[in-house]
Amino acid sequence: MEARAIQRHARQSSRKMRLVVDLIRGKNVNEAFAILKFNKKYAAKQIEKTLRSAVANAEQAALKANENLDVDELLVTKAIINMGTPLKRFSPAAQGRGVPIKKRTSHVEIHVGTKESK
């Protein structure tokens, strides 16, 4: 059973989020939740939300297909962070100028599945 969840426009740069996602890629779902719970970074909270959604999607897909699914056997098969559209803002500068500021966003995509589907 394979399922995925996508969170778009998370308000953090993709570079910072990749540091956290690299910790959970390929791990068991319960182990991934434990890693994310005790990680201090803000990205861990966003990634945990997406992972919970992916697990719920797997459960719903199993119910729909009338299959048995043990959540403890799910693995994080694929975890990708892509760059989203940056929010463009301007900050005042000397002599009446405006200096552009890019507030970066990212897209989080997490796939969960069992060992057989891998």
**Per-residue model confidence as pLDDT tens digits over 43-62:** 999 999 999 999 999 999 99
- 118: in domain: no
The predicted structure's pLDDT at residue 115: 83
The predicted structure's pLDDT at residue 108: 97
What span, in angstroms and rounded, lies between the C-alpha atoms of 12 and 6?
Answer: 15
Provide the CATH number for the domain around residue 65: 3.90.470.10
pTM exceeds 0.85, yes or no: yes
The predicted structure's pLDDT at residue 50: 97
Dihedral sign, Cα of residue 13, residue 15, residue 16, residue 21: positive
The predicted structure's pLDDT at residue 116: 76
Q: Which domain holds residue 40?
A: 2-113
Longest CA span, the chain: 68
The predicted structure's pLDDT at residue 118: 54
- 17: in domain: yes
Question: Which range among 34-43, 59-68, 76-85, 108-117 shows the weakest confidence by mean pLDDT?
Answer: 108-117
When pLDDT is cut at 50, 70 and 90, the band that residue 78 belongs to is: very high
- Quote the number of domains for the chain: 1
